[in-house]
Amino acid sequence: MVTLSATVPSAVRRRALLPTSVTQGVVWALTVVLVLGPLVPLVYTSFRSQAFYLPGGTWSLQPYRSLFDDPAFWQAVENTLIFAAITTVLAVGLGALFAILINRTNMPGGSWLRWLLIAPIVIPPLGLIVGWTSIYGTAGYLTQFVHRNLGLPAWNLSSLLGMAVLGCVVTIPITFLTCQVALQGSDSALENAALSSGASPATVLRRITAPLLRPAILNSSILVFALALETLGIPLFIGTPANINLYASYLYNGWSNSATPDPPFVSAGAILLLVVVTILLIVRTKLLGSEDRFIVTSSRGSSEAAPLNIGRWRYFWSAVTAGFVLLGSIIPLFGLSIMSSVKELTILVAPWHLWTSSNWHDILNNPSFRNAIVNSLIIATIGSVLTVTFVAFATLVAHRSRFGLRRTLPALLVYPRAIPGIILGVGFFWSYLLVNVPGAFLRNSIWGELLALSIRNITIAYVVLYPALAKVSTEFDQAAMASGAGWWTIGRRITLPIVRPALLTAVALMFITLLSDYDPLVFLQKPGTEVMGVTMLQAWEKGEPGQVAAMAVLQLVIVGLVIVGATRLIRRARRA
Amino acid sequence: MPDIRLQNVSKAFGGATVLDNIDIDVGDKEFVTLLGPSGCGKTTTLMAIAGFQHPDSGRIICGDRTFFDGGGRRTLPAEQRNLGIVFQSYAIWPHMTVAANIGFPLKLRRTKKPDVDRRVGEMLDLVELADLGAHYPHQLSGGQQQRVALARALVGSPSVLLLDEPFSNLDAKLRERSRKWLRALQQEIGMTTIFVTHDQDEALGMSDRVMVMNRGAIEQSGTPEDIYRRPANRAVAEFVGRCNVLDGRIVGPARCGSVLVEISETSLVVRAQCPPETADAGDVVIALRPELIQLSLGEASHANQCLADLRSSAFLGDHYEYELSLGGVLAQVQHSLPIPGETALVTVPDLAAIIVKP
């Protein structure tokens, strides 16, 4: 007889500090307040005749009326629509094409190009923009080369088309990844069936593969269009010199360049854009069915297909893809790094004659630059850990609990990224003004910026964590529950440790994003709370592109280090 | 160890009834198997006992503790039921060592570290994995993982052990060995156990009692022998083992629990077992196991014999499976020797057939 020893541990359960439903309720309520809270003063202000801090305001539609009466507003709307349309067509067309070529054909170099195409996700956006102006801008290196040395007509980057091409480079990771996921998820037997019924590889790609991508194309089209509507950096850096405003830069200038900022006016503009973007995203959700359908990727073992042979064309397409990466990302980043170390980047004088360390000297010694670097690092470090922790528990409530309102959470976690950053920033600014405790503290310290940036980007943590969590069998939870563990313990001890690689990925991505994102902070920054992105914007406006380039290179170096470090950590976490 | 009772438990998903008023009574130290085809509700039943599914109505009682009461709307959370569960996937937490997996339930109960270590050691000995405490789950074979899962389920001295198809991920040889090992262990420690499977060999070979489920209801509950030899109805006869289910007509009065039945569209008259409530005359359905039908060469000389045409045969190693046509009906027959020629003499021994509910 086996003795199950007499000293059976007593079945006394650990008493939870708070009932599970209270913990879950707190997580839910915090999410609601932090995501929707900042929008309240925005909506309120847009219907007032005066800023709320001035006396004598009344309910009024005046802000909307003055907006509609401004011809510059309509010009910005028209520009934005054209810019967004071109960006979307380019990004979706090329993204789908590259995804098919890399995932379904025997094009050489696919495994490298795959990573280079999505690299813009981690490249600090301002770095890419400054790099582009240094190479392709009116006074850019290649522009001058083509125009002066070759005497050919050159392109104009400071045009809607030029800006849209850059917009395409920035957004192509989204369309490429969406199509790639769809391709990897679809059964290659569909293509093999067409091959064996006599179709040529080219016909298979055209008649089977591409049509199967239709949902992915629709999905990423709406996403890219919505992102293009709220683009701020490209028009500010590239459009402003040519007097081209997009919607976001119009709002920005309406706030920062007018002698008397008119909060109701800017709020009305913000609300309009918010409504349009929200409608777009609702349409997208309706068209695609549930969010889960495309977030969760199931890799089927049998879908490992032999690539389609596209014959000699494979070299041509390989060159096209490589050319895109080279011209879109690599050369501009190369230009950026040279620009950070020369007095001026020009075709007339070889760069090594203009070598200077003054840009680097400036940004490392000027107190406001130094402040910006330190503050950004603090925000990125603390913000990434806090955000991922918070989102991890919110995701658990959303997908691993019986909490009554859990189904509202996924939408709340995805929404902040849909709110144009500049608008969210205004919302936070006024929220801090309205709610004096702790608003005054937040308004005057980097913690307010940290909060705004983190909330804006919780979506990134969520889209990394949710698919990882969805792959973890619920039997792990049930086994823990049967062992006597409550919800909180299961999350802390079982579920989250299992997705440790995804948590690390999310922290790294958050760090990178928080380091270089700046849209929500353009109105929040004050002397003493400088961050890198906004400081670069101001230096650009002052006409110091060298300093901006140096800052951008610094961002790139930090991002590179974080990626290397994170990759090692994640690999170790996977092995454990 | 307490008994466990389910009373009038019902559950519907959407419009589909998954559990239809089922009653289950498992005695102390009993090993009860829920057997049935996929979708019959057996796993839902197990998950309702475990607390991962909430029935729409009924009661679930374990000893003196009420797990679920549909009338009083009371549900004891899964984590307070003190059950041991082995999942189909084993659900061994991949980020913890074997010892940490097994010790986890104890840590939740705030057991002191020396006690945890001692008890984990005992459990590792019990499941014969004494050397593997520091290993991670991915370093173990399927059979070893299963035993870790079992150790983890048992470590907290659960009141009942629930097993959800624990052998389905093992290969055939290992499955047989694990089955014997688990049954021996269960009998040694005297643990009340509920086992869910769709594999009749497992069900018949391990259980004190088998409950055959079909479409959310319990068709029959009895010892493995009862279930196999005396199936209550056609569904049970067809699901458990291979079986010829034939139409017939009672042609003589009942005597000592048996009755003469003429099998329709054949010349066979066989003496079939009849359950007490069987009528004295009229049409009946009989179940006849293929291995109980005898084949020989020669001429029919008794009423329970007839010549049959061989339709097909399959060689399966230790026996042949034949399909024979007995006049107008087809019958499966199992025989250990090859049959030469196109016809064979079929003999149905007395009491080989049994009358079942249609």
Peptide bond connecting A71 to the previous residue in cis, omega within 30 degrees of 0:
no
Mean pLDDT of B178-201: 90
Stated as kind and residue range, the H or E segment containing B210 is strand B209-214
Distance from CA of B118 to the nearest CA of A (A): 10
Type and span of the H or E element at A222 = helix A214-229
Q: With pLDDT > 90 as the criterion, what percentage of chain A qualifies?
A: 35
Predicted complex ipTM:
0.78
Q: How far apart are the CA of B218 and the nearest CA of chain A, in angstroms?
A: 26
Per-position DSSP letters for A121-133, written without gaps between them: GTS-HHHHHHHHH
Q: How many CB pairs under 8 A join A and B?
A: 104
Please report where in the chains the tokens 């507003």 appear, as a residue: A73
- Predicted confidence at residue B314, as pLDDT, reads 92
The pLDDT value recorded for residue A524 is 87
**Rounded average pLDDT over A386-412:** 91
Encoded tokens for A226: 């919505």
Q: Do A483 and B91 lie within an 8 Å CB cutoff?
A: no
Residue A304: the pLDDT is 52
Phi, psi of A489, deg, nearest 5: -65, -40
Query: Rg of chain A over CA atoms, in angstroms?
Result: 26
pLDDT at A15: 54
Interstrand relation of B31-35 and B209-214 (parallel, antiparallel or unpaired): parallel
A414: distance to nearest CA of chain B, Å? 29
Tell me which residues of chain A have a C-beta less than 8 Å from any C-beta of chain B. 1-2, 4-5, 7-14, 473, 475-476, 478-486, 489, 493-494, 497-498, 500, 576
Question: Coil, strand or helix: which one is B26?
Answer: strand
**Token representation of residue A365:** 């010694």
Task: Determine, for residues B91 and A494 on separate chains, whether the beta-carbon distance falls below 8 Å.
Answer: no
- Per the CB < 8 Å rule, is B189 touching A13? no
Helix (H) or strand (E) holding B160, with range, is strand B160-164
Predicted local distance difference test score (pLDDT) of residue A303: 44
Reported as a pLDDT band with limits 50, 70 and 90, residue A293 is very low
Asked if A489 lies within 8 A of B108 by C-beta distance, the reply is yes
Among the listed residues A274, A79, A282, the one whose alpha carbon sits nearest the alpha carbon of residue A167: A79
| Per-residue model confidence (pLDDT) at position A17 | 63
- pLDDT higher than threshold 90 for residue A13: no
* Helix/strand/coil for B258: strand
Q: Is the pLDDT of residue A294 over 60?
A: no
Q: How confident is the model at residue B107 (pLDDT cuts 50, 70, 90)?
A: confident
Task: Tell me the pLDDT band of A11, cut-offs 50, 70 and 90.
Answer: very low
Answer whether B64 touches A (CB < 8 Å): no
Task: Tell me if the pTM is above 0.90.
Answer: no
Looking at chain B, the whole-number percentage of residues with pLDDT higher than 70 is 99
> Tens of pLDDT along B299-317?
888 889 999 999 999 999 9
Q: What angle do CA B184, B185, B191 make, to 5 degrees?
A: 115
Interchain pair A2, B188: CB under 8 A: yes
Of the candidate ranges A53-62, A315-324, A495-504, the one whose mean pLDDT is the lowest: A53-62
Out of A2, A476, A494, name the one closest to residue B189 (CB).
A2
Q: Cα separations (Å) of B289 from A205, B229, B233?
A: 56, 9, 14
**Cβ(B236)–Cβ(B57) under 8 Å?**
no
Query: Which residues contact residue B69 at a Cβ distance below 8 angstroms, ignoring those fewer than 6 apart?
Result: B59, B60, B75
* pLDDT at residue A8 in the model: 45
Q: Which residues of B touch A489 (CB under 8 A)?
A: 108
Range in A157-161, A168-172, A434-438, B218-222 the model is least confident about: A434-438
Tell me whether residues A479 and B152 touch, CB distance under 8 A: yes
Q: Is B87 on the interface with A (CB under 8 A)?
A: yes
pLDDT of residue A301: 40
Residues 6+ apart with CB under 8 A from B181: none
Residues A108, A102: Cα–Cα separation, whole Å: 9
Residue given tokens 């769709």 in the structure block: B198
Look up residue B170 and give its amino acid.
Answer: L
Using the predicted structure, report yes or no on whether residue A16 has a pLDDT greater than 80.
no
Q: What is the mean pLDDT of chain A?
A: 85
A308/chain B closest Cα distance in angstroms: 36
Instruction: Specify the pLDDT at position A196.
Output: 75
pLDDT value at position A260? Answer: 63
Give me the pLDDT at residue A253, please: 84
Candidates A20, A483, A487: best to mutate against B (most CBs of B within 10 A) is A483
Please provide residue A49's backbone torsions phi and psi, each rounded to the nearest 5 degrees.
Answer: -80, -25
Instruction: Return the minimum-mean-pLDDT range out of A6-15, A314-323, A558-567.
Output: A6-15
Distances (CA, A) of B291 to B268, B318, B335: 17, 12, 7
HSE of A536 in the Cβ direction (CA atoms, 13 Å)?
31
Q: Which of A239-243, A504-508, B144-148 has the lowest mean pLDDT?
A: A239-243
User: Please, what is the Cα angle at B31 between B26 and B32, to 5 degrees?
Assistant: 60
Residue A146 DSSP code:
I
Instruction: Kindly determine whether residue B152 and residue A2, on different chains, have CB atoms separated by under 8 Å.
Output: no
Give residue A5's pLDDT: 45
pLDDT at A6: 40
SS3 annotation, A34-97: HHHCCHHHHHHHHCECCCCCCCCCCECCHHHHHHHHCHHHHHHHHHHHHHHHHHHHHHHHHHHH
Around A186, how many Cα atoms within 13 Å sit in the side-chain half-sphere? 22
Closest CA to A72 of A235, A279, A233, A238: A235
Residue contact A484–B185, C-beta within 8 A: no
**CA nearest to A249, candidates A124, A424, A72:** A72
| Lowest mean pLDDT across A191-200, A234-243, A482-491 | A191-200
Please state which of the ranges A146-155, A316-325, A512-521 shows the lowest mean pLDDT: A146-155
Which tokens sit at A342?
């020369």
For chain B, give the mean pLDDT.
90
Which residues in chain B have their CB less than 8 angstroms from residue A403's CB? none
pLDDT, tens only, B247-262: 999 998 888 888 999 9
Contact A518, A534 (CB under 8 A): yes
Query: For residue A299, what pLDDT is reported?
Result: 39
CB distance A317 to A112 below 8 Å: no
pLDDT tier, A261 (very low <50, low <70, confident <90, very high otherwise)? low
B166 touching chain A per CB within 8 A = no
Q: What is the pLDDT of residues B43-95, one digit of tens each?
A: 999 999 998 888 999 999 998 899 999 877 788 888 888 899 999 888 889 88
* B-chain residue closest to A481, CA distance: B79
B174 and A CB contact within 8 Å = no
Q: Residue A289 — very low, low, confident or very high, per pLDDT cuts 50/70/90?
A: low
Residues B157, A494: C-beta atoms closer than 8 Å:
no
CB atoms < 10 A from the CB of A78, how many?
11
What chain B residue is nearest to A496 in terms of C-alpha separation?
Answer: B95
Question: Rounded distance, CA B217 to CA B226, Å?
Answer: 18
Residue A187 has pLDDT above 60, yes or no: yes
Q: Which of A13, A483, A498 sits opposite B94 (nearest CB)?
A: A498
What is d(CA A174, CA A187) in angstroms, rounded to the nearest whole number?
22
Nearest C-alpha neighbor of B326 from the set B244, B206, B271, B213: B244
The answer to whether residues A502 and A464 touch, using CB atoms and an 8 Å cutoff, is yes
Residue A292's pLDDT band, with cuts at 50, 70 and 90, is very low
Enumerate the residues of chain B whose CB falls inside 8 A of the CB of residue A9.
106, 109, 111, 115, 119, 156-157
Confidence of residue A439 (pLDDT cuts 50, 70, 90): confident
Spatial neighbors of A343 by CB under 8 A, at least 6 apart, are: A354, A356, A358, A546
Distance CA(B19)–CA(B57), nearest Å, equals: 10
Average pLDDT of span B156-171:
88
3-state SS assignment for residue B163: strand
Cβ neighbours around A571 below 10 Å, total = 12
Using the Cβ of B104 and the Cβ atoms of chain A, whether some distance falls under 8 Å is answered with yes
Q: In the numeric block, which tokens belong to residue A320?
A: 């096209």
Contact B108 A4 (CB under 8 A): no
CB of A441 within 8 A of CB of A529? no
* Region of residue B240 (phi > 0: left; psi between -120 and 50: alpha; otherwise: beta): beta
Report the relative pairing of strands B160-164 and B83-86 from DSSP bridges: parallel
Which positions 25-54 of B are in contact with A (Cβ < 8 Å)?
50-52
Three-class secondary structure of residue B194 per DSSP: strand
| B91 contacts in chain A (CB < 8 Å) | 473, 475-476, 478-479
pLDDT of residue A495: 93
Q: Residue A242: pLDDT band by 50, 70, 90 thresholds?
A: confident
Q: Which amino acid is at A432?
A: Y
How far is the C-alpha of A456 from the C-alpha of A422, rounded, in Å?
A: 10
- Mean pLDDT in residue range B185-210: 91
